[in-house]
Amino acid sequence: MLTFDANIYAYPTTATVGDSVVIRGESLTPLCDAERRPPIFDAFLPVTFEQAYEALVQLPRLDAEPDGFLVIAGEADGSRWQLDGHLYDFGDSLHRLRLHGQCPDETLDAVLQCLGWPEAQVAFEVISDGVVLDESNFRRYAARRPIH
């Protein structure tokens, strides 16, 4: 089960790999810019708000509102899971999806496909830990339980 609170963006055009950090007991390499600061999210996802919305509402157990709010829930291995999210656009372009909660890997895959993944590379701004991760680092992060 994946557990996270993140903004999902198109991969930033100037992103580079930063120095390793340990989060949730896992050594991860966040993305940064040339000055080692968090990258600027200057790219847009390859789908419009409307295209993402129409794809999302086709997913089983997903409910979405026209303003971009969404919730998807289910059960896996005897445990209930739920993701809450919101789509954000600028003009005709989809900028990001805010998504938080818990879900199985395949649910995250289905949601990401609605954003143009895997053809479009994505980056994850982890809200609670203040880092930006590529997909592989994010999946390792989200698979670990939060350390309280």
Tell me what pLDDT residue 91 has: 85
Output 145 or 74, whichever has higher pLDDT.
74
Is the pLDDT at 147 greater than 70? The verdict is no
pLDDT in tens, 75-133: 998 999 999 999 999 988 999 999 999 999 999 999 999 999 999 999 999 998 999 99
Tell me what pLDDT residue 148 has: 56
| pTM of the predicted model as reported, rounded to 2 decimal places | 0.95
CB 133 within 8 A of CB 45: no
The overall average pLDDT reported for the chain is: 95
Q: CA 18 → CA 15, 40, 44, 56, 124, distances in Å? A: 9, 14, 22, 33, 14
Interacting residues of 48 by C-beta distance below 8 A, sequence separation 6+: 89, 92, 93, 94
Tell me what pLDDT residue 89 has: 95
Is the pLDDT at 42 greater than 80? The verdict is yes
Q: Is 27 exposed, middle or buried (0-12, 13-18, 19+ CB in 10 A)?
A: exposed
Q: CA 101 → CA 3, 73, 139, 146, distances in Å? A: 6, 10, 14, 12
Which residues lie across from 62 on neighbouring strands?
A: 72
Under the banding of pLDDT at 50, 70 and 90, the label for residue 146 is confident
Percentage of the chain modeled with pLDDT above 90: 91
Backbone angles phi, psi at 16, to 5 degrees: -135, 165
Which range, 11-15, 37-41, 109-113, has the best average confidence (pLDDT)? Answer: 109-113
* Cβ atoms within 10 Å of 110's Cβ, excluding its own: 18
Tokens of 59: 């997913």
